[in-house]
Amino acid sequence: MIRKSKYTAEYKKGKSKNPIPFPHIVILKRKEVYFKIDSGWPASLTIKPIMREHFPDDFKGIIASVETWEKLMKELDPNRKTD
């Protein structure tokens, strides 16, 4: 079920733009979504509405630390779809 949020609606300006305003990595096998948020509060408060609108209820939203984000980026292969 997709629940619409008035907070993320403003980012849907065009079809080619990503409606999620933060860099993120989706790991389907673990049902986790890692977000990179440098600004901290209050930007971190938007994770829950973003998760409700864009991902199923069993997915978990995580704000990645700098170390975790760097590790995830190193594991990404540009020639392979992230799973």
Residue 79 CA to residue 4 CA, distance in Å, equals 33
Q: Domain segments of the chain: what residues?
A: 37-62
Extract the residue ranges of the chain whose pLDDT is less than 50: 13-14, 16
pLDDT for 53 equals 87
Any idea what DSSP says for residue 50? H
Going by C-alpha positions, the residue among 34, 20, 41 that lies closest to residue 65 is 34
Q: What is the pLDDT of residue 68?
A: 92
Residue 9 is predicted with a pLDDT of: 55
Kindly report the pTM of this predicted structure: 0.69
CA-based nearest residue to 64, from 21, 28, 32, 18: 32
Q: How many Cα neighbours within 13 Å face the side chain of 78? A: 0
pLDDT for 36: 93
pLDDT value, residue 44 = 84
